[in-house]
């Protein structure tokens, strides 16, 4: 350590210019985003003009009356709408279904984990460039979701912020278990999240949190893509789900329940889950229960496009039949949920269709009964509440600078959200294409 008398002597002989040459503290860059319109993620309409002032990674001012600091960089995006980055509450970013069912299953067994991780980073980038700046990832393997989340957070690879669930928790033989293979063929007979009984279920929550889970995912009912179970049959008891919810909430984690069937949904809502994922076969009693408890329905409507791909991919006949049953029921259920005023979130199940098509979910939400502005709120401000991330989802001072631009006005034509041409995350530009006209966006007016 240098003695104080030596430091004093050095200061006495150093010329003033040497002292003045010390680097000043780095001042965050100020950027002003301008466009014809702005939807803030909370209001009932878009406003004009659209102005968002960003300093560093935060929004500091919004609206036509915002004070613009001298020397700020201005990005004028023209006849477009500024809006918050989309938040997808139901994704599987670490894999993607192809047109060959058997090859997909083989790839999951033969590809090195490092290769799967690299492929996942491509899916993450594609998702971000589509305007999705936050995802809740509800099912992965080999800690791929944890690794991808951490790499994105560290700036190693581009992608949306991720809330991950690690291993989904479910019952023996259920949707979250390993099925379709002979016992022992994979070196294990049960999925990594299988738990039977309240005590085992509680312990499994602790395990997922230990492994890095931000949210707890459970399989309350059967599923479409699993073999050997009925898509709508309940698979967890009320006592098991109560134990899961109690432990998760005590640890500050929310619970998302994969659930197609009405009976399973009623059990899950009574147990206190925070959201019902899919909800395909919910009856009026189940929907009324969701509304009474304030439970969010995350309906994943765009999955209907995956059935033809399943049919052509060589998927087992029982799985294709379950997909057809689900497709036949989901529109009616969603329309009833909208009519009843059930709280609805935005989730896509991205992976059963190519990553980056997330915004097409909005088209189905509107086609089947929601107003465009309500669908957009579900994908922004409402989903921020569902996920418990109060620092994003709305364009206002103090929130993270996650801002996207789409042509025209998506509160009038929600298909415009499929034509994202500008993406900012954390105040850094992740995508910037030439502005597109509103006319181009109208080409996607009809959901696929």
Question: In the predicted model, is pLDDT for residue 438 greater than 70?
Answer: no
Q: Which of 31-35, 53-57, 175-179, 249-253 has the lowest mean pLDDT?
A: 175-179
Determine what percent of the chain is predicted with pLDDT higher than 90: 82
pLDDT greater than 60 at residue 3 = no
Residue carrying structure tokens 């968002």: 52
Rounded to an integer, the average pLDDT of 324-347 is 98
- pLDDT tops 70 at residue 70: yes
Q: What is the pLDDT of residue 178?
A: 79
pLDDT at 129 over 70: yes
pLDDT tens by residue, 284-313? 999 999 999 999 999 999 999 999 989 999
Rg, Å, the chain Cα set: 24
pLDDT surpasses 50 at 16: no
pLDDT averaged over every residue in the chain:
91
pLDDT of residue 365: 98
pLDDT digits (tens, 9 = 90+) for 362-405: 999 999 999 999 999 999 999 999 999 999 999 999 999 999 99
Decide which of 157 and 68 is more confident: 157
3 state DSSP class of 76: strand
Q: At what angle do helices 198-211 and 238-250 cross, to 10 degrees?
A: 30
CATH numbers and ranges of domains, the chain: 30-84+395-444 (2.30.40.10), 86-358 (3.20.20.140)
- Summarised one tens digit per residue, pLDDT across range 265-281 is 999 999 999 999 999 99
Q: What is the mean pLDDT of residues 134-148?
A: 96
Q: Supply the pLDDT for residue 228.
A: 83
Q: Is the pLDDT of residue 13 over 60?
A: no
pLDDT at 192: 86
Q: How confident is the model at residue 241 (pLDDT cuts 50, 70, 90)?
A: very high
Report how far residue 29's alpha carbon sits from residue 9's, in angstroms, rounded to the nearest whole number.
38
pLDDT digits (tens, 9 = 90+) for 20-31: 444 445 788 999
Q: Does the pLDDT value for residue 445 go beyond 90? A: no
Residue 443 has pLDDT above 50, yes or no: no
Please compute the mean of the pLDDT values over residues 128-157 and round it to a whole number.
97
Angle between helices 262-271 and 238-250 (to 10 degrees): 40
- Is pLDDT above 90 for 408? yes
Phi, psi of 134 (to 5 degrees): -145, 135
Whether the per-residue pLDDT at 144 is higher than 90: the answer is yes
Residue 2 forms beta bridges with which residues?
A: none
pLDDT tens-digit series, residues 211-233: 999 999 999 999 999 988 999 99
Contacts of 301 (CB under 8 A, 6+ apart): 330, 331, 334, 361, 364, 365, 368
For 90-119, give one letter per residue: b (16+ CB within 10 A) or e.
Answer: bbbbbbbbeeebeebeeeeeeeeeeebbeb
Q: Other C-beta atoms within 10 Å of 249: how many?
A: 15
How is residue 435 annotated by DSSP?
P
């Amino acid at each position: 350590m240098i003695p104080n008398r030596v430091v004093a002597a050095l200061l006495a002989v150093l010329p003033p210019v040497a002292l003045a040459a010390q680097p000043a503290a780095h001042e965050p860059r100020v950027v002003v985003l301008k466009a014809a319109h702005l939807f803030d993620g909370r209001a009932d309409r878009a406003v004009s003009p659209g102005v968002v002032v960003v300093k560093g990674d935060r929004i500091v001012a919004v609206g036509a009356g915002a004070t613009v600091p001298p020397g700020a960089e201005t990005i004028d995006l023209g006849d477009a709408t500024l809006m918050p980055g989309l938040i997808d509450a139901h994704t599987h970013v670490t894999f993607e279904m192809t047109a060959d069912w058997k090859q997909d299953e083989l790839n999951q067994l033969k590809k090195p984990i490092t290769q799967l991780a690299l492929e996942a980073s491509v899916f993450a980038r594609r998702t971000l460039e589509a305007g999705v700046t936050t995802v809740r990832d509800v099912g992965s393997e080999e800690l791929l979701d944890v690794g991808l989340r951490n790499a994105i957070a560290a700036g190693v690879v581009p992608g949306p912020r991720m809330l991950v669930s690690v291993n989904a928790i479910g019952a023996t033989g259920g949707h979250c278990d390993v099925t379709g293979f002979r016992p022992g063929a994979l070196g294990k007979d049960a999925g990594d999240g299988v738990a039977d009984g309240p005590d085992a279920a509680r312990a499994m929550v602790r395990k997922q949190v230990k492994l890095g889970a931000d949210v707890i995912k459970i399989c309350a009912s059967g599923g479409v893509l699993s073999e050997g179970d009925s898509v709508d049959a309940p698979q967890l008891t009320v006592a098991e789900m109560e134990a899961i919810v109690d432990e998760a909430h005590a640890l500050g984690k929310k619970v998302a329940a994969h659930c197609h069937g009405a009976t399973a949904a009623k059990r899950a809502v009574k147990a206190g889950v925070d959201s019902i994922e899919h909800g395909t076969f919910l009856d009026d009693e189940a929907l009324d229960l969701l509304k009474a408890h304030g439970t969010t329905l995350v309906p994943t409507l765009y999955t209907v496009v995956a059935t033809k791909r399943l049919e052509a991919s060589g998927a087992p006949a029982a799985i294709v039949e379950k997909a057809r049953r689900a497709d036949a029921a989901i529109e009616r259920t969603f329309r009833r949920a909208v009519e009843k005023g059930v709280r609805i979130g935005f989730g896509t199940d991205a992976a059963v269709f190519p990553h980056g098509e997330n915004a097409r979910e909005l088209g189905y939400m509107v086609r089947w009964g929601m107003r465009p502005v309500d669908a957009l709120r579900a994908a922004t401000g409402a989903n921020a509440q569902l996920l418990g991330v109060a620092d994003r989802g709305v364009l206002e001072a103090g929130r993270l600078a996650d801002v996207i631009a789409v042509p025209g006005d998506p509160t009038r034509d929600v298909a415009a959200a499929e034509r994202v041409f500008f993406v900012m995350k954390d105040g850094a530009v992740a995508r910037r294409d030439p502005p597109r006209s509103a006319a181009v966006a109208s080409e996607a007016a009809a959901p696929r």
